[in-house]
Amino acid sequence: MFDGPLSAETDPQERLARLRLARSPRIGAVTFHEALAHFGSARAACTELAAVPAAPIQREEEQLARSNGRFVVWGDTYYPAALAALPDAPPVLSAIGDLGLLARPTLAIVGARNASLAGRRFAGDLAATLGGAGFVIASGLARGIDTAAHEAALTTGTVAVVAGGIDHVYPPQNAGLHAAIAAQGLILAESPLGTPPVARSFPRRNRIVSGLSAGVVLIEAAAKSGSLITARRAAEQGREVFVVPGSPLDPRYDGSNSLIREGAILTRGANDILSVLGLPQCARQVLEKPQEKSHLGETEKVVEALGATPTAVDELVRRCQVSAATVAEVLLALELEGRLERHRGNRVSLM
């Protein structure tokens, strides 16, 4: 009996059979896993269920490779462990970008497409801080909160999960961000190449965003917001749900405030998240190990550039001539020590 994802790259013939099974009509994610459990292997399931032939699968794989992408099949080494454990884990993902991000601890930040300027700023500040702490930031590449989170985490690591095929840019105005994430981060899609995003694709996409993550942060969700689906799927998957509160007089927060009343974690900043999840191991090692002289010099540059007057984080990067990741790391350490105050517009000052 087949009882779980393989720890190493799957046997090539079994891997191809899983691709054929996943792309067969009337075989969804749950049915795929049920078929593996029932027949013992995808090869046996393909024989019994008359799966699609190998030729179109190989053509799609070749087309994906021309875009510097590849398939990540359930059971492959790169398939994220947190996602693999779900009963409706996607059988196959198209991927373009840095697959190494799938091995790192991940947090999702989602929210309103028509987000307020304050909401977008908060999402960007939060993504930058959590990215500096060692988390990869996942979201759905939508307008508003998603866009702000991805943009702020480009230098530290971000994963975008899209609703259609990986070759469909949606929304069109995010074409530049789509390309930037493909170059610097990672884009994932469950749907085959050439598939346009349709309404039913977005809830399926949302379960992947939450499934990849240790927790989901929700910013500005109205009563019928699609991001509420992500938060509820996160709860079903056993993930932490963090919600940024808002005024009860603002309808953009009706869904958010309802989730807090139902038990979600009220979140005012990165510390409320880190107090629950802790720092990722990679960040703890950085903060705990003796710093090399060169890195110590960079740290001193950042601290010396700070003062009581709020300074933009981008300005710190330019002024100190160090990487954005280093600045984020130093700011996080100062914040955890209670020495840093964050302000609107991604600005910071010493306490």
In the chain, domain spans? 12-97, 100-277, 290-350
Helix, strand, coil % over all residues of the chain, rounded to 5: 50, 15, 35
- Tell me if 289 sits within 8 A of 281, measured CB to CB: no
Give the architecture-level CATH label for domain 290-350.
Answer: Orthogonal Bundle (1.10)
Q: Domain 100-277 classified CATH 3.40.50.450?
A: yes
Residue at token pair 């840095």? 98
The pLDDT value recorded for residue 281 is 60
Provide the residue type at 159 as one letter: V
Q: What is the pLDDT along the chain (351 residues), one digit of tens a residue?
A: 233 443 345 689 999 999 999 999 889 999 999 999 999 999 999 998 888 999 999 999 999 999 999 999 999 999 999 999 999 999 999 999 999 999 999 999 999 999 999 999 999 999 998 998 889 999 999 999 999 999 999 999 999 999 999 999 999 999 999 999 999 999 999 999 999 999 889 999 999 999 999 999 999 999 888 899 999 999 999 999 999 999 888 888 999 999 999 999 999 988 889 888 887 765 554 444 444 444 557 778 888 888 888 888 878 877 888 777 677 778 877 776 778 888 776 778 887
Q: How far apart are the first and last CA of the chain?
A: 60
DSSP annotation of 99: G
The span from the CA of 235 to the CA of 241, in Å, is: 7
The span from the CA of 207 to the CA of 87, in Å, is: 11
